[in-house]
Structure 1
């Protein structure tokens, strides 16, 4: 039987929340593997996602008109608190049942979407700020859930501009590398090092 989305979210949060907490103010303008997003915009986007998907877990409408939340006050602690609320929202009875969202998608699929965002954007932010982000052997169920759902969603995601063009990875690549490539990321992305003149 599949693990609960809330349990998988808890596992992903344990890896992503420390990355967000460790972002330094001087790193907010750094580029990320996520297209035109810098660290500030991507952290704000992930914060917005965490808030929106709490609403979707409760079968309420979410506002996707604002792509990124302004980073104000103690936003790092706020992100951690809201991520714990996200886990609790998806642990509530009935959260994974039925449909939710404007497109009336299966709730389990919607839960996998926020799980994927937490994992992939966690990697984006870690890679941009020079921190490790490697899945553990115990993350197999998490990667299976996200990989399977994102494979289904990828064609629509690319049409909507949510995913970039798929990046080919080597045969036999780790499932996490395959997930990154599926979402349009180069698993070996690194910030450009500017030459000193």
Structure 2
């Protein structure tokens, strides 16, 4: 299944969510305990540019270099344009691509990795901003299927891993909640009073 269009749809939600963010909002807490909104946005900008470089050249030289400048929305929008353009490149889905120090994967898997990041961090953005979040059901289902294939390895989870420890969810929980649980998030997270 080609996950590029579901990924684009979720990234459009990111742009919409961040369209009114000002530098005054950057200290808002997020469900990512170690990141405020500014750090989360820098992470997204960094990842989008790095995935774009990796999709184009087979690997990225910098996974942490994202900058927001004085216009967080523009920085995010530019990074989204870069990654969606790179993912649409000829032969990208069949190319072998290095992702961080996780290994080298076919382009189809790399898009799946980015989709999981996009769906989950979209929820993080919405929660931090107190906005509703309703990503495309197909995108959520695809991201959930992808995460169900990721081992629940204690050595790869926690502060030094790409995901936190799994938060158990009932099997009949909504797909987005099950996805959040697999990435170590509680769907009940709220920012609390400011």
TM-score, normalisation: structure 1? 0.86
1:86 pairs, out of 83, 86, 92, with 83
d(CA) in 1 for partners of 2:116, 2:124: 12
Are the counterparts in 2 of residues 167 and 184 from structure 1 also a CA contact under 8 Å? yes
Structure 2: gaps of 5 or more residues? none
d(CA) in 1 for partners of 2:79, 2:9: 15
**Root-mean-square deviation over aligned CA pairs:** 2.0
d(CA) in 2 for partners of 1:153, 1:35: 22
d(CA) in 2 for partners of 1:82, 1:70: 10
In the alignment, what sits opposite 1:187? Answer: 187
Q: Alpha-carbon deviations, 1:19-45, whole Å to 9, x = none? A: 122223222111110121111101100
How far apart are 1:173 and its partner, in Å?
Answer: 0.8
In the alignment, what sits opposite 2:37? Answer: 39
Are the counterparts in 1 of residues 47 and 63 from structure 2 also a CA contact under 8 Å? no
Alpha-carbon spacing, 1:152–1:171, altered in 2? closer, same or farther (3 Å) = closer
Q: List aligned pairs for 1:135-146, cutoff 5 A.
A: 135=135, 139-146=136-143
Are the counterparts in 1 of residues 68 and 75 from structure 2 also a CA contact under 8 Å? no
How far apart are 1:13 and its partner, in Å?
Answer: 1.4
Structure 1 stretches of 4+ with a deviation exceeding 6 A read none
Alpha-carbon spacing, 1:154–1:36, altered in 2? closer, same or farther (3 Å) = farther
How far apart are 1:154 and its partner, in Å?
Answer: 4.7
Report how many residues are paired.
188
How far apart are 1:64 and its partner, in Å?
Answer: 4.5
Are the counterparts in 1 of residues 46 and 63 from structure 2 also a CA contact under 8 Å? no
Q: Alpha-carbon deviations, 1:28-83, whole Å to 9, x = none? A: 111110121111101100110010111122243213452x6232133311311320
Structure 1: gaps of 5 or more residues? none
